[in-house]
């Protein structure tokens, strides 16, 4: 059976993606680091809608945890494989660079960029052997245009875009696509402290996006209909930046 793995799948955009992929018939592995209650709520929403899912706890920024968690799952599912990977896990620690501490820089880079590397590297071999796979990386508007006070976050997301384009060239001949989705302002925990009335004046669509709208795009990229799309970065930002 072909599974989908969503890192950082317990809340926000990650939760919406898990629900969307489950609605498409894929059993979903909901990765989370520490918030088991939120992860269980995501699983409950999936099962109540008739889908299938499992929890998979590990910190994407710690290579040993990634390897052990995925190896344990694979040993328990010898007939199954993870054919869809959504690298969604990410954190923000915003501040001006002049005030930024080493930990603020390293933790953001470790979660977004190293997390992508550790999990993707571990799963590529299975996709190559099956000659089938979808890798979807959650980038950001900040990675495309930069954002003041987010040099760490912008750097991590920009690097993720570069890795997306490179990996797409490496494995495209094996029928594996690699794409990035770059959301703008989306209604999640990450933006709950923003003054939406101020920001939406800059957005041609006049509002923040919804997690379900991002999930719909991810669902398309995970589908057979997107088999000829790879190495792309698709923005979903209400026209804020093109």
What is the pLDDT at residue 17? Answer: 98
CB 7 within 8 A of CB 31: yes
How large is the average pLDDT for residues 5-32?
98
What is the pLDDT at residue 62? Answer: 98
Note whether residue 242 is domain-resident.
no
Domain count, the chain: 1
* Two tokens, residue 2: 């072909």
Is the Cα dihedral 106, 122, 226, 89 positive or negative? negative
Q: Which domain holds residue 184?
A: 2-236
- Stated as kind and residue range, the H or E segment containing 69 is helix 63-76
* Two tokens, residue 223: 């589908």
Q: CATH no. for residue 198?
A: 3.40.50.720
How large is the average pLDDT for residues 145-158?
96
| Percent of the chain whose predicted confidence (pLDDT) is above 70 | 100
Note whether residue 35 is domain-resident.
yes
Q: Nearest-5° angle of CA 60, CA 229, CA 66?
A: 10
Note whether residue 89 is domain-resident.
yes
Note whether residue 147 is domain-resident.
yes
| pLDDT higher than 90, residue 201 | no
CB 230 within 8 A of CB 165: no
Strand, coil or helix: 93: coil
- Residue 217: pLDDT band by 50, 70, 90 thresholds? very high
Q: Which residues pair with 43 in a beta bridge?
A: none
Active site residues: 153
Note whether residue 59 is domain-resident.
yes
Strand, coil or helix: 11: coil
Residues 29-43 have pLDDT tens digits of 999 999 999 999 999
pTM: 0.95
Note whether residue 54 is domain-resident.
yes
């Amino acid at each position: 059976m072909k599974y989908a793995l969503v890192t950082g799948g317990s809340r926000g955009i990650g939760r919406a993606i898990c629900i969307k992929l489950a609605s498409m018939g894929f059993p979903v592995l909901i990765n989370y680091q520490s918030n088991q209650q939120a992860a269980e709520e995501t699983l409950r929403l999936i099962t109540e809608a008739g889908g299938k899912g499992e929890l998979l706890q590990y910190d994407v920024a710690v290579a040993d945890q990634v390897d052990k968690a995925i190896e344990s799952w694979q040993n328990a599912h010898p007939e199954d494989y993870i054919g869809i990977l959504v690298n969604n896990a990410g954190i923000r620690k915003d501040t001006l660079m002049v005030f930024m501490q080493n930990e603020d820089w390293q933790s953001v880079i470790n979660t977004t960029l190293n997390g992508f590397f550790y999990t993707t590297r571990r799963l590529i071999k299975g996709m190559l052997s099956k000659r089938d796979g979808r890798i979807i990386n959650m980038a950001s508007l900040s990675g495309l245009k930069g954002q003041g006070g987010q040099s760490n976050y912008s750097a991590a997301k920009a690097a993720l875009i570069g890795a997306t384009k490179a990996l797409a060239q490496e494995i495209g001949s094996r029928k594996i696509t690699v794409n990035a989705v770059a959301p703008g302002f989306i209604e999640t925990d990450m933006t709950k402290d923003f003054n939406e009335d101020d920001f939406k004046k800059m957005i041609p669509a006049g509002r923040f996006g919804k997690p379900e709208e991002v999930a719909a795009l991810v669902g398309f990229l995970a589908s057979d209909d997107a088999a000829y799309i790879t190495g792309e970065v698709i923005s979903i930002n209400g026209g804020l930046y093109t």
